[in-house]
Amino acid sequence: MNINMVMDELEALGKERTKKIYISNGAQEPLFGVATGGMKPIAKKIKKNQPLAEELYNTGNYDAMYFAGVIADPKAMTEADFERWIDAAYFFMLSDYVVAVTLAETDIAQEVADKWIASGEELRMSAGWSCYCWLLGSRQDSEFSESKLAKMLDLVEQTIHDSPERTKYAMNNFIYTVAISYKPLHDKAVRTGMAVGPVEVNRDKAKSKFLNASENIQKAVDKGQVGFKRKYVRC
């Protein structure tokens, strides 16, 4: 399939209601409003195709950019490629659910994510923390440095309340993910969540919301989910 065929198929799958939901979350025109599940039949036909993924991502169309992440070949991507992708990721559903997810399937994931976390830029930081969440939820504990993750928990505790809004979500999720998916630091993550407490995030045109890692950790503990690992990062 070429780019025009894929764009035609995506457009045919678009729904106005889905489009409105995406826009309410920060998506911008152009977009069709394609449910992610609806993309699976096209993805099965294409499988991995990095050149096509690049073409789709470069359209600036949200649905095409999302689908680019579905068919991307992460191991064919360099750090420079990921920098281009994060530059074009204009809201969290791209930075955290396309770029960070794709990065999490590479050998350079931690190295790139560390740079993004240190960048001071909201969506880069958000993608960096999110990438660690995808990594921790899918890779063996032995692939991580316990001391490094412990320092990252300390950093979250010290800075989360003063971080950019979208970054707060990813940092809060990092506390939760360490507690549930990285057994060696379960207790420290629980303590970090309690020390951080509720995290206020301000949303455009809506009253502020509070995130609470501790509550979500306890719910997961009650369900016996500690040690959870997913088989695949991408669906």
- Report the helix count and the strand count for the chain, using DSSP H and E: 14, 2
Same domain, 66 and 136: no
Q: What is the pLDDT of residue 205?
A: 63
Q: How far is CA 143 from CA 135, 139, 176, in A?
A: 9, 7, 19
Among the listed residues 63, 129, 64, the one whose alpha carbon sits nearest the alpha carbon of residue 96: 129
In a domain, 68, yes or no: yes
Q: Rounded to the nearest 10 degrees, what angle do helices 3-13 and 62-71 cross at?
A: 120
Q: Does 63 map to a domain?
A: yes
Asked if residue 83 is part of any domain, the answer here is: no
Angle at 223 between CA 222 and CA 229, to 5 degrees: 120
- Are 109 and 216 in the same domain? yes
pLDDT tens, residue order, the chain (235 aa): 999 999 999 999 999 999 999 999 999 999 999 999 999 999 999 999 999 999 999 999 999 999 999 999 999 999 999 999 999 999 999 999 999 999 999 999 999 999 999 999 999 999 999 999 999 999 999 999 999 999 999 999 999 999 999 999 999 999 999 999 999 999 999 999 999 999 999 866 668 899 999 999 999 999 999 999 988 776 5
85 in a structural domain: no
39, 72, 105 - which closes a domain: 72
Judge whether 66 lies within some domain.
Answer: yes
Residue 87 lies in a domain: no
Same domain, 48 and 141: no
Domain tally, the chain: 2
Supply the pTM of this predicted model: 0.95
State the pLDDT at residue 140.
Answer: 96
Burial class of 223 by CB neighbour count within 10 A (0 to 12, 13 to 18, 19+): exposed
Same domain, 221 and 137: yes
Round to whole Å and give the CA distance between 109 and 84: 15
Last residue in a domain, options 38, 72, 106: 72
Helices 50-57 and 3-13, interaxial angle, to 10°? 60
Asked if residue 208 and residue 143 are part of one domain, the reply reads yes
* Measured CA angle at 216 (ends 215, 218), to 5 deg: 65
Confirm whether 84 is domain-assigned. no
Q: Do 141 and 179 sit in the same domain of this protein? A: yes
Which DSSP helix (H) or strand (E) runs through 200?
strand 199-203
Do 28 and 132 reside in the same domain of the chain?
Answer: no
Domain with 35 in it: 1-72
Among 209, 208, 206, 180, residue whose Cα is nearest residue 193: 180
Q: Is residue 78 part of a domain?
A: no
Query: Does 227 lie in the same domain as 111?
Result: yes
Return the DSSP state at 105: T
